[in-house]
Amino acid sequence: MTEAALAFHRRIDAALADAGLRRALALTAGRLAGGRAAAFDALTDADACRDDARRARAGAIARLDSLLDQFAREASARGCTVHWAETAADARRIITGIARERNIRLAVKSKSMATEEVELNEALEQAGVRVVETDLGEFVVQLAADRPSHIIAPIVHLSRQDVATLFQEKLGATAADVADIPSMTALARRLLRAEFLQAGMGISGVNLAVADTGSLCIVTNEGNGRLTSTLPRVHVALLGLERIVPGAADLAAVLTVLARSATGQASSVYTNVMTGPRRHHGGPGAGPAGEPDGPEELHIVILDNGRSRVLGTPLAEILYCVRCGACLNACPVYRLIGGHAYGGVYPGPVGSVVMPGLHGLEDWSELAHASSLCGACRDVCPVKIDLPHLLLEVRREAASRQLAPLWIRAAMPAYSAVATRPRLYRWAGRAAARLARLLQQDGWIRRLPGPLGAWTASRDFPAPAARSFVEEHQARKAAAR
């Protein structure tokens, strides 16, 4: 087993031993999954809406090159500065360069998985820029020197009591400040308000970009996203190059299912569409007096970081993803081990495809085995990504490159040799059934030998029937004659 695989298994063992983590995951993931189900039940022809969103995303990925060119032209024409970042290092260099050139000392950030992906905060801090996360969950994560464990609920792994203790230790909060969730939220709001007023730069991600107008759409449930993108004089938006749609109709199709999948809402509290920076008197699209609000500069950094390598491969469908997190809430594996066990920025079923897709199989192929292939992730995906198929593609490619564990590499050819020979297969099945029945108790096997013991470490295995299905069928046919 590789070092990466060993580390993954150690993280899984630690997560399974954490009873508090399992309680927190069951509560929050269960609530989010229930909200999603109720929201789609209330939507007229929900399946057709998902089909519309899928067509919008598939169509965009199919002509990504032309849409990105169009978006860059339209955004530039409306006063934005567009940058292209091929790698995470390029994105860090571009954004820290903007901060240095404008003598920025404080930057406020709204929630963004892309900035987590490129490790932007650390780069800015090293460049002398203090960075403040303003999403409440991300604010807690930053205080704890932790990292998000869910795509939309960064502190799904923490309880209210955990946050209260953290606020008392790091912020000097009083008992009244942490008496309940509204009190803790009010404390964070008071502290963050001063940061917004002093910040010279606001940094955000982008949920979707509209090619034909050069617009950015940012979807949040907190007002921090709107403050981050309008109050500081410089706004930097980090855009994953796949997060683009051709026009407003496609944007509407995706937004119809995005919030319902993420939080169970018909629409997020704040859905902001921004087109260019503040327009001064005489500027393009400005009125007689110009615009009083918005950033003086809007920089859009279009991030590749491995995405273009996924195009045209068997994993290309993962680029349809709108990062709603619904697959995490539905996944029985994620709900047991949480996001930190996966070891990367993107956890759960989507992360098990995105991480090896963007960063290579060598360190990330093991993630695809953390799946029962039950299909729950596919059933809840708002754009109907066939995640079980993609997980199998990752496994297949890892096997072809000899990256699977040694026992699997040895076992699968042996199984293939038996399974393609009917007589041998039937004999082996009968032999395995007899052996398994020696291990069973009350119809269940509670401990399997060797690597198979990983299954019975956390659940029992059903003992095989005395006769196989074929044998039972043949017996019934004979009895019926």
Q: What percent of the chain has pLDDT over 70?
A: 98
DSSP 447: -
Candidates 471, 444, 474, 470; CA nearest to 459 is 444
- Six-digit token string for 288: 């007689």
pLDDT, tens digit (0-9, with 9 covering 90-100), for 348-404: 999 999 999 999 998 999 999 999 999 999 999 999 999 999 999 999 999 888 887
DSSP 331: -
- Six-digit token string for 338: 């949480």
pLDDT confidence bin for 282, thresholds 50/70/90: low
Candidates 314, 326, 311, 316; CA nearest to 378 is 326
Candidates 53, 112, 56; CA nearest to 260 is 53
pLDDT at residue 277, rounded to an integer: 95
Helix (H) or strand (E) holding 195: helix 181-198
Q: Return the minimum-mean-pLDDT range out of 8-22, 224-238, 348-362, 426-440.
A: 426-440
pLDDT at residue 208, rounded to an integer: 98
Report which residue type is found at 184: M
Quick check: pTM over 0.85? yes
Q: What percent of the chain has pLDDT over 90?
A: 75
Domains of the chain plus CATH, in order, are: 1-42+315-404 (1.10.1060), 46-305 (3.40.50.10420), 406-480 (no CATH)
Q: How far apart are CA 122 and CA 261, in angstroms?
A: 31
pLDDT at residue 283, rounded to an integer: 53
Flag whether pLDDT at 280 surpasses 80: no
pLDDT at residue 111, rounded to an integer: 94
Flag whether pLDDT at 89 surpasses 80: yes
**Pairing state between β 461-462 and 130-133:** unpaired
74: helix, coil or strand? Answer: helix
Report which residue type is found at 176: A
pLDDT at residue 284, rounded to an integer: 53
pLDDT, tens digit (0-9, with 9 covering 90-100), for 142-198: 999 999 999 999 999 998 999 999 999 999 999 999 999 999 999 999 999 999 999
Exposure of 32 by Cβ count < 10 A (0-12 exposed, 13-18 middle, 19+ buried)? Answer: buried
